Structure 1
């Protein structure tokens, strides 16, 4: 018998009459709110307008959710399209299953659309929101805790996670496992603080703060992924997400180094957000009138 462990919630959904309130969704919503709040604060500090981050997030977030779900469904297609599976379950996003790689990739497309509409350089915006995205991931991982999913190998560690659930095939999982959701959540918090510190210390700009976030996250994701035991495709002994982490890490480091040599420092604060200049001009005109 284990002397200590992290308990799992008995359920991840509450009902307000006929309306289901799902903890997984709340974790994502809280994460988005944190990302927008911190991103807006950092954007204003860089010379941008207060509401620009939120306006662009209106495009980035839904694109990111769709991209995250698509990546999950494509890479774990056997869960939905193999014989005996229900393809309609691919739309049940509330049951978990968002791939961060797809979320970032398609979310970037949405952010690019929003940034173009606001006349904002996307790399500068990405630098501002980078630590907030890491914190959003930290919040989102707690949704896996509520759903009792994506845990690691069996363990006797005192911070092991107790899982007791009935699986889709009727079997019961009961035991103490590595709390990979907690490892990744804590890692993402550390990544957020790393990016904030490095950004202030070295004045990162032109997308380099975002590249640092990506590189640091992939390092943690690589070893955390190695602990997980959920079904996954493998290549040369490594899970698909491990290979993705390696490739994305190389790309992020290359971008960081190349852009750092070509465009050191940050963007001109007066050039990153036309809306900020409009507000400043309006305030100046108002002050001169009074």
Structure 2
């Protein structure tokens, strides 16, 4: 069996100053957004719409705010509302952990809506630009989860099962790696290839919602549910229940969005 290496949470220490792995993963996620986003805005269909690299930087800034605020509020509302409503000051203690992808997604959607209004363009034009850039950023986040030894999997007897010593001595699914490969690398490659040709407005966004929803839903079967929630109705986790509307809305966008193709 494999044993988690128990990495030092800090990637770099200089005296009392430390750069933590998870913060570094966020930085790498934002860097890849700008790097691959530059290629996206250079495409003829976005050049025809007047997109510039400055637009991409502004979009990233708005998206970061959406991720942080939405991710935190999503965790508060979806996972531990009673605790945080009883201890409201704890909502601001982000350094203690507690972020929700689905809350972060809602925050990003609001940021995209704001940017689309400012740019005077369709919301789905903006979301189609951004969608292929998100999975690779998620992959860095899941790598950070693995390095920190958090969000571990359910018990398993598979050859690659891993013991997380800070949890217990039971071999478990390295579910962080499953998510890194599924909703991160695989979905990113599929979206990049799919978006390389003109699609109806909203289709790229729809494929992201469908692809992420399916990958996350499947990975949750190997991921240990939050101890304070456990499994909910029909034996599904909170993460799986939150993925279901994503899947249906993704299918809707793929099938029913505007027939107007990108320029």
Quote how far apart the aligned CAs of 1:122 are.
2.7
SS at 1:174 equivalent: coil
CA distance in 2, matches of 1:134, 1:241: 17
Match of 1:193 in 2: 189
- Cα offset, 1:136, TM superposition: 0.5
Asked whether the 8 Å contact 1:95–1:147 carries over to 2, the reply is no
1:36-58 C-alpha deviation (Å, 9 max, x unpaired): 32123112213122221111221
TM-score, structure 2 as length reference: 0.86
Q: Could you tell me how far 1:250 is from its partner in structure 2? A: 0.3
Structure 2 vs 1, CA of residues 79 and 137 (structure 1 numbering), >3 Å: closer, same or farther? farther
User: TM-score, normalised on structure 1?
Assistant: 0.79
Structure ID, larger Rg: 1
Q: Which residue of 1 aligns with 2:36?
A: 38
The answer (yes or no) to whether the contact 2:132–2:195 under 8 Å persists in 1 is: no
Establish whether residue 236 from structure 1 lines up as the match of residue 234 from structure 2: yes
Which secondary structure does the structure 2 equivalent of 1:156 belong to?
Answer: coil
Q: Which residue of 2 aligns with 1:61?
A: 64
Unaligned regions of 5+ residues in structure 2, if any? none
Give the 3 Å change call, closer, same or farther, for CA 113–82 of structure 1 in structure 2.
Answer: closer
- Corresponding residue number in structure 2 for 1:129: 130
CA distance in 2, matches of 1:38, 1:247: 28
- CA 1:147–1:96: 2 relative to 1, 3 Å: farther
Aligned-pair CA distance for 1:157: 2.6
1:8 is aligned, of 5, 8, 11, to 5
Q: Distance in 2 between matches of 1:59 and 1:78?
A: 26
CA apart distance, 1:27 = 0.9
Q: Supply the distance in 2 between the matched residues of 1:229 and 1:79 (Cα, whole angstroms).
A: 22
- Say how many residue pairs are matched: 253
CA distance in structure 2 between the aligned counterparts of 1:80 and 1:12, rounded to whole angstroms = 27
Structure 1 alignment gaps of length 5 or more: 166-171, 269-290
Please tell me the root mean square deviation across aligned C-alpha atoms, in Å: 2.4
The separation in 1 between residues aligned to 2:145 and 2:84, in whole angstroms, is 23
